[in-house]
């Protein structure tokens, strides 16, 4: 397991590897600005990259990213962020790079190292930090994907643990920082009415959809190395499955929650080729960086089973894709129909049974569908949604929340080693052996074969724009 880090003191500097990249520009630098506005950041920020930039160029890049992310509404906070920035031009294979970082850190002794760099460089940088003595009392924040299969995840964990203790490794998935995702955990275990029905006796099936109406946005070369299963489902959607399926933890500490989530992944039956439908949108092969005969999936739908006492026999359906009809993420937990058909119009043939719906993005909401009688003598009705929660103003952006938590040593919203490896074990076989990707039209909901996958339990719930509510 590596070394033990007894310190829970807050990090006194942030070293941002890959500071000139798109992730830093679009997400991380705006998050640092938001943290300063909230009063949660006041430490040096040392940007590290291979670009031959000046500090002034980095500052301009930060201003541009913050402006594009939502605008500048606090000049004092912006000026303070710019004053905290430092820049180190780097070659990650050169020992002098890490000497320069140590010099830029000055008196800081508890840095957090954020690896916003290609996964192929993770091991190089982690080992460089260790060799330079920059890992003592430090933390490392690693962007997904953490490995690209089970073997590479294990090797990366081994390397990380040779330098950092597990409680100093923060595997970041911005999806877990979203308010709507956090609310799944709270909603499940803060309300007593849910527990009696939250099992195989009452739940017919569970669907998760993460849809995007845009394509690979010039990142074709990256997508050729990843694909939808690796890029979205194995991490984002599996994390949501764990929150929906886990048992209540014995205590509130995040270590107990991580243990229960890991048990879910360990209970998921490993996927076989027939559990999976892969798709590719029309025109993907014309994208820059994409092979002319590429079989990489831009859409993936799968059926999985959790072999636990609570969920035995319940089908879980996950799908995600690019160039779909909407950009949205939703969960639909479909309940079984009443055991006796007292009213003719309440049979499943008339539509969906009762369900619980979690809207995760672009807005957040929780809704419960129940049948309500129409006025009159006849016993007929309609299914209506009871809206339980809507978007809350002033939500903290995921990256700002997660960065703040990592620098404070709070691992609640991060992924632990055993969970990472157990999640890869579920998909490992179908990463190598699978059916060919089916073509689908842009603006559709994916290939028709995905409908056949879910047919034994009905049909897909397609997220729609939320109606305006008074």
> Quick one: CA dihedral 152, 154, 155, 160, positive or negative?
positive
Instruction: Enter the CATH code of domain 176-457.
Output: 3.30.360.10
Q: What pLDDT is stored for residue 378 in this prediction?
A: 85
Rounded to whole angstroms, how far apart are CA atoms 218 and 51?
A: 20
| 13-172 CATH pick, 1.10.150.50, 3.40.50.720, 3.20.80.10, 3.30.565.10 | 3.40.50.720
Q: For residue range 235-280, what is the model confidence (pLDDT) as tens digits? A: 899 999 999 999 998 877 778 888 999 999 999 999 999 999 999 9
302 bridge partner residues: 276, 318
Q: Whats the size of the chain, residue-wise?
A: 470
387, containing H or E segment? strand 381-389
Per the listing, tokens 């009905």 go with 458
User: Is the CB of residue 445 less than 8 Å from the CB of residue 301?
Assistant: no
DSSP annotation string for 161-230: HHHS-GGGEEEE-GGGGSHHHHHHHHHHHH-TTTGGGSSTTTEEEEEEEEE-SS--TT-HHHHHHH-HII
Burial class from Cβ neighbours inside 10 Å (0-12, 13-18, 19+) for residue 210 reads buried
Nearest to 350 by CA among 337, 332, 359: 337
Q: For residue range 280-298, what is the model confidence (pLDDT) as tens digits? A: 999 999 999 999 999 999 9
Q: What pLDDT is stored for residue 377 in this prediction?
A: 83
Q: What would the two tokens of residue 171 be?
A: 């595997």
Rounded to whole angstroms, how far apart are CA atoms 396 and 38?
A: 9
Q: Please tell me what DSSP assigns to residue 415.
A: B
Rounded to whole angstroms, how far apart are CA atoms 242 and 262?
A: 8
Per the listing, tokens 């964990």 go with 157
Rounded to whole angstroms, how far apart are CA atoms 32 and 66?
A: 9
Per the listing, tokens 């079984």 go with 336
For the chain, give the mean pLDDT.
91
User: Is the CB of residue 424 less than 8 Å from the CB of residue 231?
Assistant: no
- Enumerate the CATH 3.30.360.10 domain ranges in the chain, comma separated: 176-457
Mean per-residue pLDDT pooled into runs of 10, the chain (470 residues): 54 97 94 95 96 96 95 94 96 94 95 92 95 96 88 94 95 86 90 95 97 92 92 93 93 82 97 98 96 97 98 98 96 91 69 89 90 86 83 77 93 90 96 97 97 95 76
- Enumerate the CATH 3.40.50.720 domain ranges in the chain, comma separated: 13-172
Per the listing, tokens 């956090």 go with 182
Strands 45-49 and 85-89: parallel
User: Is the CB of residue 173 less than 8 Å from the CB of residue 236?
Assistant: yes
Residue 1's CB: how many other CB atoms inside 10 A?
Answer: 9
Q: Please tell me what DSSP assigns to residue 146.
A: S
Rounded to whole angstroms, how far apart are CA atoms 90 and 87?
A: 9
Helix count and strand count (H, E) for the chain? 15, 15
User: Is the CB of residue 261 less than 8 Å from the CB of residue 330?
Assistant: no
* 236 annotated active-site: yes
Strands, sheet with 111-115, edge to edge from the N-terminal-most edge strand:
85-89, 45-49, 13-17, 111-115, 139-143, 169-172
Per the listing, tokens 């003598």 go with 377
Q: Tell me which of 25, 174, 236, 461 is the catalytic residue.
A: 236
Dihedral angle, C-alpha 280, 24, 235, 196, nearest 10 °: -120
Strands 299-305 and 276-281: antiparallel
Rounded to whole angstroms, how far apart are CA atoms 49 and 24?
A: 11
Distance of CA 255 to the CA centre of its chain: 19
Residue 383's CB: how many other CB atoms inside 10 A?
Answer: 16
């Amino acid at each position: 397991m590596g070394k033990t880090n007894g310190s829970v003191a807050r990090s006194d500097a942030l070293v941002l590897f890959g500071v000139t990249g798109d992730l830093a520009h679009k997400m991380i630098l705006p998050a640092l600005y938001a943290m300063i506005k909230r009063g949660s950041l006041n430490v040096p920020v040392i940007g590290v990259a291979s670009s031959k930039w000046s500090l002034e160029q980095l500052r301009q890049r930060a201003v541009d990213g913050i402006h594009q992310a939502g605008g500048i509404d606090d000049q004092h906070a912006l000026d303070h962020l710019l004053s905290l920035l430092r820049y180190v031009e780097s070659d990650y294979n050169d020992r002098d790079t890490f000497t320069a970082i140590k010099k830029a850190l000055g008196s800081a002794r508890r840095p957090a190292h954020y690896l916003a760099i290609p996964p192929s460089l993770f091991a190089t940088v982690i080992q460089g930090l260790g060799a330079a003595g920059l890992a003592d009392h430090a933390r490392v924040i690693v962007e997904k994907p953490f490995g690209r299969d089970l073997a590479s995840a294990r090797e990366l964990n081994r390397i990380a643990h040779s330098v950092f203790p597990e409680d100093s490794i923060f595997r970041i998935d911005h999806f877990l920082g979203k308010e709507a995702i956090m609310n799944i955990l709270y909603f499940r275990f803060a309300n007593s009415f849910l527990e009696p029905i939250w099992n195989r006796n009452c739940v017919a099936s569970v669907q998760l959809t993460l849809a995007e109406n845009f394509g690979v946005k010039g990142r074709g070369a990256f997508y050729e190395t990843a694909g939808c299963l690796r890029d979205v489902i194995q991490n984002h959607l599996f994390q949501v499955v764990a929150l929906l399926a886990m048992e209540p933890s014995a205590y509130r500490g995040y270590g107990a929650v991580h243990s229960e989530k890991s048990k879910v992944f360990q209970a998921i039956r490993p996927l076989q080729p027939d559990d999976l439908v892969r798709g590719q949108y029309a025109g993907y092969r014309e994208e820059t960086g994409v092979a002319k005969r590429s079989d990489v999936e831009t859409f993936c739908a799968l059926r999985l089973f959790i072999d636990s006492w609570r969920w035995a026999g319940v089908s879980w359906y996950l799908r995600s894709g690019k160039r779909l009809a909407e950009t949205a993420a939703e969960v639909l937990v479909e309940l079984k129909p009443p055991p006796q058909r007292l009213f003719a119009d309440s049979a499943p043939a008339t539509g969906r049974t009762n369900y619980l719906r979690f809207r995760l993005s672009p807005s957040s909401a929780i809704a419960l569908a129940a049948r309500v009688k129409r006025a009159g003598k006849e016993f007929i009705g309609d299914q209506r949604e009871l809206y339980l929660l809507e978007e809350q103003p002033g939500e903290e952006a995921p990256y700002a929340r997660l960065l703040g938590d990592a620098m404070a040593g709070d691992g609640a919203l991060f992924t632990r080693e055993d969970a990472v490896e157990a999640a890869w074990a579920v998909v490992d076989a179908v990463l190598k052996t699978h059916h060919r990707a089916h073509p689908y039209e842009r603006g559709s909901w994916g290939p028709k074969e995905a409908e056949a996958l879910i047919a034994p339990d009905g049909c897909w719930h397609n997220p729609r724009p939320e109606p305006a509510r008074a």
